[in-house]
Amino acid sequence: MIYDSILDTIGNTPVVKLNHIAPKKQTVFVKVEAFNPMASVKDRLAVAIINAAEKSGDLKPGQTVIEATSGNTGIALAMVCAAKGHPFVATMVETFSVERRKIMKALGAKVILTPASERGSGMVRRAEELASKNGWFLSRQFENEANPRYHRNTTGPEILKDFADRDLNFFVSGWGTGGTMTGAGEIIKLARPETQIVVAEPENAALLSGKEWTPHKIQGWTPDFIPRVLKKEVADRFVPVSDDESIEVAQKLAKEEGIFTGISGGATLAACFKTAEVAPENSTFCVMLPDTGERYLSSPLFEQISEDSDEDWLSCV
């Protein structure tokens, strides 16, 4: 297929059945957002915000764009801005993976790191300060309605189309901005009210469940505030997951299904498995996998993976 721009390849990601690690007597499909051009669901958010801002006139030709990001949104915005001729600046907490910084810089972005002690709200404040000082366009992913609107127009309808001739009992998503769970969840519930929307969140920062925020390893999920675009009422249930089980499930998915996702993807699938334990038999699940595992090579997800030769292994064969 021939496209006029890399941006035209965003969306229409595949839904894949799990054949080896799904719970018995349950059917689990995963929507693999790594098939987007910059390998995450945030490509949708980025193109939505920039297109809407250009259309409204809030973003002028050649104007610099800035955003606070854990990485995937920044990478997506760096791609979109490169394709559209806007310089891009990211503010990012210093603890997020090095791969994300390098990818953004490779796409021409500038990356400003903020102290871990200031949490997610610190990087947001820094972006606001720089936008105000320099006259840059602040994309405001956590409150920009273009974010969930794009998921209403693309992600949700894609899922409904793919499941048009089969059951869809549960849709499972995590939340970072809340755009996916809100936008896609609303459309799925509108068309299929019987489908339950399951929202996964870190057990160490289960804000929607009424808990306090504490540090966790699920990068891209759950800043230390509830974003304005997130509609809690869309969810039917909230499922907390631990860092360890999120990492374990992501590793298992790669080794036994050949599907390479990050910690957040493992966390979402872990929430699906927990839900499957109490769901009726022969239920069908659609689980969002937000990104690729390549974003996490320096993270705890793959800290046990060696760069050395496996020569010693041959002696055991």
Q: Which helix (H) or strand (E) element contains residue 32?
A: strand 27-32
- Phi then psi for 38, rounded to 5 degrees? -105, 25
Q: Of 271, 275, 282, 288, give the one whose Cα is nearest residue 185.
A: 288
- Phi then psi for 294, rounded to 5 degrees? -65, -20
Cα 214 from Cα 205, distance rounded (Å): 5
284: helix, coil or strand?
strand
Distances (CA, A) of 230 to 32, 132, 148, 183, 186: 22, 25, 8, 9, 11
Active site amino acids: 42, 264
Tell me the two tokens of residue 245: 């089980």
- Quick one: 281 exposed, middle or buried, by C-beta within 10 A (0-12, 13-18, 19+)? exposed
Distances (CA, A) of 88 to 52, 78, 128, 136, 191: 17, 6, 14, 9, 38
Tell me the two tokens of residue 24: 């018995």
Instruction: Decide: 191 and 211 in contact? Cβ < 8 Å.
Output: no
Q: Which helix (H) or strand (E) element contains residue 230?
A: none
- Quick one: 236 exposed, middle or buried, by C-beta within 10 A (0-12, 13-18, 19+)? middle
